[in-house]
Amino acid sequence: MMVRAGDAQDQEGIPLFAPHEKVYPRSVRGPIRRLKWAVLILCLSLYYLGPWLRWDRGPAHPNQALLIDMPARRAYFFWIEIWPHEVYYLAGLLILGAIGLFLVTSLWGRVWCGYTCPQTVWTDLFLWAERLIEGDRMQRIRLDQQKLSAAKLARKAAKHAAWLVIAAATGGAWVMYFNDAPALVHDVFTLSASTTQYGFIALFTGTTYLLAGWAREQVCTYMCPWPRIQSAMIDEDTLAVTYRSWRGEPRGKHKKGDSWRGRGDCIDCRACIAVCPTGIDIRDGLQLECIGCGLCIDACNEIMDKVGRPQGLIAFDTDAKDAARRRGETPRHRFLQPRTLVYAAVLVLVATIMTVALARRVTLEVSVLADRAPLFVRLADGAIRDGYTLKIENKRVETRVFALTVRGLADALLHVAELDEPPVPAAQGTTLAVRGDGIGTFRVYLQAPRRDEPETPFTFVVRDAKSGETAQYDAIFRGPGQQGARR
Ligand code: SF4
Ligand code: SF4
């Protein structure tokens, strides 16, 4: 059978493509909704206020507590400063986040998706703005069904304007993590920000507006890989939003005064579907689309209160406990499972490694590059001179003075081109100052009598005169050796 685009069907005539149905979630009250508001306010406050936190690092350094300074190639996290080659700290943070997510998922199911995922948080915020302007579920449905009018246009325009304001604040806040926040705000509003800054603000404004305003639950259902991955972490002991079908079925409409005998508690009011941000029916069982927000629990509890039945027809529960209740047994929650313990152990291990690595983080590093052309220079008096480029990384915010000495070349003289001083005995050395949070680059010359061997290993030693922190670098002093002497 030939299948044309637009009417794709399988051989039995069932459409293979289901058009998107717009979801109009109704507002709901209850303890879970209040908890979600609290988490939302906390997450948004952390995000929007994060770039405004200050941290004093001295006059020559940025005072933003959370900052990724791309031009200077530094990442700042309060007192921690990450250099480009220390990106493994960020990798460690990502690993910690991933394992933490595994642990949380194995314990409490999709709590991340339902409460703290940015897509959920911003969609909730956009929905709040939408309700404020267009009204609750039924008013929004009616508005969408209305013919275009000035009043409808005004409401729609107001909603999109509000969405764009939120999206711009979100995109702007994101860019503030890469720039000094007060300076960026000033530059943006005086039209003196760079094209890159405006470009990134526009990019993140656009993605926030599209994902939280238009795509909403489709991001969770079709775009996000996490629901598929976490299916592998869920078992009968994982907490999930559960419809207690053994209590609710057989469902049916119920009139005040009717008997509850021979029927379930579900009165098929569909309140649980009306409040669901993904528009699903939890009574069909656990579904990929369910983000575990629990709003259907609040909606159903409200109904149960109204009809005088016990709350908890829909509840956070595990399959194992639900099955025990169904059998009339006392449910027991198996909190400590091997998988949970493994996740917790790995989490503690990685956190410990990260903490120790940060506590022992060196603030002084040295690297040396020996001249290649020429490898050495023969001086008029027959002595040999080698040249090196020495780099000293000072990872502290203050300027430091380092003692540079050479070990293993007792008869050598040391000369630093940048210093206005004659060559000094290499073992005695000289001092070099390197500005805070910077790299000092020096041209270093070693001059020594001709030796028997063409290569003599030795060590550059750099020592902080104040703290005693020391870094070493093994190098080679090259010369012609005996063979060169015979030529
Ligand atoms: S079914 Fe319930 S828990 Fe799942 S997304 Fe819908 S409202 Fe949230
Ligand atoms: S809200 Fe409760 S009573 Fe109403 S349809 Fe859903 S499960 Fe049934």
pLDDT: which is higher, 7 or 389: 389
pLDDT in tens, 374-389: 899 999 888 999 999 9
Task: Tell me, using a 6 A CB cutoff, whether residue 173 lines ligand 2.
Answer: no
CA–CA separation, 385 and 207 (whole Å): 60
Angle at 125 between CA 119 and CA 127, to 5 degrees: 100
Q: Which residues contact 391 (CB under 8 A, 6 or more apart)?
A: 366, 367, 368, 369, 439, 440, 441, 442
Give the ligand with the smallest distance to the CA of 124: 1
* Three-class secondary structure of residue 323 per DSSP: helix
**Pair 441, 391: CB distance under 8 Å:** yes
Q: What is the pTM of this model?
A: 0.83
Q: Give the model's pLDDT for residue 485.
A: 45
pLDDT in tens, 73-100: 899 999 888 888 888 888 888 999 999 9
Given this structure, which CATH class describes domain 364-486?
mainly beta
Q: Which of 127, 160, 104 is nearest to 278 (CA)?
A: 127
Cα distances (Å, whole numbers) of residue 133 to 126, 201, 208: 11, 25, 19
Q: Give the model's pLDDT for residue 463.
A: 96
Chain-centroid distance of CA 254 in Å reads 48
CA–CA separation, 63 and 14 (whole Å): 62
Ligand 1 pocket: which of 24, 219, 282 to mutate (most atoms within 8 A of CB): 282
Q: Where in the chain is the domain with CATH 2.60.40.10?
A: 364-486
Task: Tell me, using a 6 A CB cutoff, whether residue 271 lines ligand 2.
Answer: yes
**Pair 460, 433: CB distance under 8 Å:** no
CA–CA separation, 233 and 243 (whole Å): 20
Report residue 365's pLDDT band, with 50, 70 and 90 as the boundaries.
very high
Task: Tell me, using a 6 A CB cutoff, whether residue 307 lines ligand 2.
Answer: no
- What is the DSSP annotation of 200-260? HHHHHHHHHIIIIIIITHHIIIII-SHHHHHGGG--TTS-EEEE-HHHHPSP----TT---
CA–CA separation, 234 and 336 (whole Å): 14
Average pLDDT over residues 160-180: 97
Ligand 1 pocket: which of 224, 270, 278 to mutate (most atoms within 8 A of CB): 278
Average pLDDT over residues 254-278: 94
Chain-centroid distance of CA 279 in Å reads 28
pLDDT: which is higher, 206 or 465: 206
The protein residue whose alpha carbon is closest to atom 2 in ligand 2 is: 300
Q: What is the CA radius of gyration of the chain?
A: 34
pLDDT in tens, 303-361: 999 999 999 999 999 999 999 999 988 887 776 778 888 999 999 999 999 999 888 88
Average pLDDT over residues 204-228: 94
Average pLDDT over residues 95-107: 90
Hey, how many other C-beta atoms are within 10 angstroms of the C-beta on 383? 16
pLDDT in tens, 218-263: 999 999 998 888 877 788 888 899 999 999 999 999 998 899 999 9
Ligand 1 atom showing the smallest separation from residue 114 Cα: 8
Q: Give the model's pLDDT for residue 78.
A: 93
